[in-house]
Structure 1
Amino acid sequence: MALKGFGVLVLSLIGLAKAGLSLNIPSGGRHIVSQQRLSNPIISPTLFSELERLSRVVDISYCIGNSGLGEPFNCISRCDEFPTFSLVTAWNTGVLMSDSCGYIAVDHGAERPAEGSDDIPDANHTIMVAFRGTYSITNTVVDLSTVPQEYVPYPSPENGTDKPHPVCTNCTVHMGFMSSWETTRTVVVPQLIGLREKYPNSPIHLVGHSLGGALACLAALELKLAFGWDNLVVTTFGEPRVGNGQFAKFIDSVFDLEGDAQPDHRPYRRVTHANDPVPLLPLTEWGYSSHAGEIFISKASLSPAERDVRHCHGDDDPNCIADSDPYSRYKLWELFFAHRDYFWRLGLCIPGGDPTNWGRGPIGTSEVVEDEL
């Protein structure tokens, strides 16, 4: 069951504390907005709605390896909320530290084609790729954090672009994350090539939670650099640090995350949540850095309102997840939930998704039960 798997995260955090490693956890377990944070613009209602929807899209990926995900787009969780989706493929590479689960679907925009009928290539389609988080994210971070490897973008394939790649000088990435992507790409890349041929003008949305956020990052870089695909949108929830400072700056440059584009229109949205330790791992002491594009949910409990979700500046905005005060005593259960609470409680794959008997009200309402643990 998913709850048992997520217990690994809590136990791993205990192990980190016993090992004497300093975890910088955002201070306070409640909704605190500093005066400085007011300078960070609130996201638009349109982007808020999109991020909330994408959190449900990635939540469905937790059904893979659990109760399952089937055609046309069926599962016991939130699949009924996406009647325009058609499942293309789902994958599950295993249960080791380099494991990966996820699915590829086509959002037909208006209405899913009837079984046996032809799709319309020029319709308003979106290609969706969802990467599930691993149940052992912190184990992966700790066990492999000391062995970063050089980041070398994949060469252009025969059907890719002939344009020269930007060079990522002195870039290193987490070996575990890269190993997981190297395994996953054998499934994902061929499927996307076929879908790209069928829907040449359709955008590709990559969305991931936890380790899945790291995979979405590496996937997006390859698709953009090796294939020259520009209509990519990346959204991650609780993404860990993938590489070193040079790699973070490389991502900023490739996706123009510190350019003149309006924050709501950035092609890469790295969503973080108060009290979630994973975006601060691996530690900076181990040579890892965050990249830009952060959107911070400042409210610790569910459910956030628009005023609780703000754009951040640069790689380590002190008004966002980087604003942390180390303290020795904290509620491990808060951390247990903080990494899973992104608009909804992710990772359960049960009917209706987020269980109402946990005191969580729907998005857009004020129904929240405090201190239920």
Structure 2
Amino acid sequence: MRLKSIAATRLFALQLTITTLVLALQIPPQHGPTATSQATTPKSISVSLFATLERLSRLVDISYCIGTTGVRKPFECVSRCSDFPSLSLVTTWNTGPLLGDSCGYIAVDHGVRQREDSDAYTAGQPAIVVAFRGTYSIANTIVDLSTVPQEYVPYPFPGDGDEEPEKPEHKCTNCTVHMGFLDSWKNARRLVLPQLRQLKTQYPSYQIQLVGHSLGGAVACLAALELKVSLGWDDVIATTFGEPRVGNDGLARFIDEVFQLYGRENLEERDYRRVTHKEDPVPLLPLGEWGYKSHAGEIYIAKQQLSPSEADIYLCVGDNDPACIAGADDSVWSTLRRLLHARNVPADSEKSVQADGFPSRFKLWQLLFAHRDYFWRLGLCAPGGDPADWGRGPYQGPDTEEL
């Protein structure tokens, strides 16, 4: 009975969410104030930053093996683990499949070449790597991005056993956060923080590299804030791919302040890189009409198909650069409208969608691909990563139901 109740509740939530989304799509996107008053020609990234981001995309892709075939010591999996002979696995965690759960791994990148390494291998900088996995289902993502925000407190939570923090340098005023993201970080932190403290003592000169895709990007954001603000660690670098909006305008400004994301100077040297991709709707969710705002630090992949080059990737300015994903807002919503009225959905079915929920014939994988394509097609945990001909086009793919 309990399982039936949970299933019924989740179905109702999905129906309610799609109804809201359908209504929202009838309203043109409202672009709020931006840090840039007009679109300017964006600056493409350097070859070295491209190599760093591409490498991190493979590292976060490996996190999708957790919960399926697994990641084992020293650093082995059926996906891309063999690309990283300098990494040593410390631990993995998987608290469950729901939004409030979390999944990922911690590894140490010693940044050295082994004697048997091929000439093509390029080691990274010495770092402690924490990778947060995203969700497998775009349907779950839509439901997960529809919940009500709650107050955000970027300090150790009462009763968690942590020591009292020092007086924080930054204060988060009038901040709210998506409660599912916060619950996910709360579940992960009791496993992640003790390991990080131990590793930081063992490797004091190593950077802390946090990386996440999709919902995992939101969790990586909250983790980075706590490490920077509560623990006072200055050597934290966060990189997210397809990160949704984490909270309200107050939280976005707080993130900008903590990571010094304001201005146009030294864009490549920022300690927070929020990578977005053309036609990916997730960085624009939850809706601005619900009070959510994007923070700065964006790096925009303007090429729709795989694989991009450094000339296709732009450094963005401010929270809402019109030359980046914010400027593509209208086209993304147009894509959603086209998908809603796709060939398999009759033109007069919008009322039935609002009344009966999302039609089962609608293929959510069409949005899924746009959200997965970050240097590689993420989330497969397949030998060698992305099979070469697995739906390479922007919206072509296997005829499978994502719901």
How high is the TM-score relative to the length of structure 1? 0.83
- Aligned match of 1:54 in 53, 56, 59? 56
Higher Cα radius of gyration: 2
In structure 1, give the amino acid aligned to 2:63. Answer: S
CA deviations on 1:210-262 (whole Å, 9 max, x unpaired) are 01100100000000111110011110000000000010000000000014641
Pick which of 67-76 and 137-146 moved more.
137-146
Which residue of structure 1 aligns with residue 308 of structure 2? 304
Which residue of structure 2 aligns with residue 79 of structure 1? 81
Matched, 1:89 2:79: no
Rounded to whole Å, the distance in 2 between the matches of 1:291 and 1:59 is 24
Matched, 1:110 2:112: yes
- Aligned match of 2:211 in 183, 188, 207? 207
Preserved contact between residue 369 and residue 395 of structure 2 (Cα < 8 Å): no
Change (3 A) 1:370 1:210: closer
Preserved contact between residue 244 and residue 283 of structure 2 (Cα < 8 Å): yes
Change (3 A) 1:138 1:261: farther
Which residue of structure 1 aligns with residue 196 of structure 2? 192
Structure with the bigger RCO (C-alpha within 8 Å, sep 6+) is 1
- Aligned match of 1:336 in 368, 377, 380? 368
- Aligned match of 1:252 in 249, 256, 262? 256
Change (3 A) 1:13 1:45: farther
Shift of 1:98: 1.3
Preserved contact between residue 297 and residue 319 of structure 2 (Cα < 8 Å): yes
Q: Any residues of structure 2 matched to 1:45-194 within 5 Å, and which?
A: 45-111=47-113, 125-136=126-137, 139=140, 142=143, 145-155=146-156, 162-194=166-198
Change (3 A) 1:159 1:19: closer
Shift of 1:333: 4.4
Which residue of structure 1 aligns with residue 361 of structure 2? none
Give 5+ residue unaligned stretches, structure 1: 1-7, 28-35, 114-123, 361-368
Rounded to whole Å, the distance in 1 between the matches of 2:223 and 2:313 is 26
CA deviations on 1:269-323 (whole Å, 9 max, x unpaired) are 0000011111011000110000000000011110111111001111111111112
Preserved contact between residue 150 and residue 172 of structure 1 (Cα < 8 Å): yes
Shift of 1:125: 2.5
Q: Any residues of structure 2 matched to 1:5-44 within 5 Å, and which?
A: 16=18, 20-23=22-25, 39-44=41-46
Matched, 1:272 2:276: yes
Shift of 1:184: 0.5
Change (3 A) 1:307 1:99: same
Give 5+ residue unaligned stretches, structure 2: 1-9, 30-37, 116-124, 343-363, 398-403
Rounded to whole Å, the distance in 2 between the matches of 1:137 and 1:195 is 34
Determine what percentage of the aligned residue pairs are the same residue. Answer: 61
Preserved contact between residue 94 and residue 100 of structure 1 (Cα < 8 Å): yes
Preserved contact between residue 358 and residue 372 of structure 1 (Cα < 8 Å): no
In structure 2, give the amino acid aligned to 1:76. Answer: V
In structure 2, give the amino acid aligned to 1:139. Answer: N
Preserved contact between residue 85 and residue 112 of structure 1 (Cα < 8 Å): no
Change (3 A) 1:105 1:99: same
Which residue of structure 1 aligns with residue 390 of structure 2? 358
Shift of 1:166: 1.5
Shift of 1:148: 1.1
Change (3 A) 1:259 1:13: farther
How high is the TM-score relative to the length of structure 2? 0.77
Preserved contact between residue 160 and residue 227 of structure 1 (Cα < 8 Å): no
Rounded to whole Å, the distance in 2 between the matches of 1:16 and 1:65 is 28
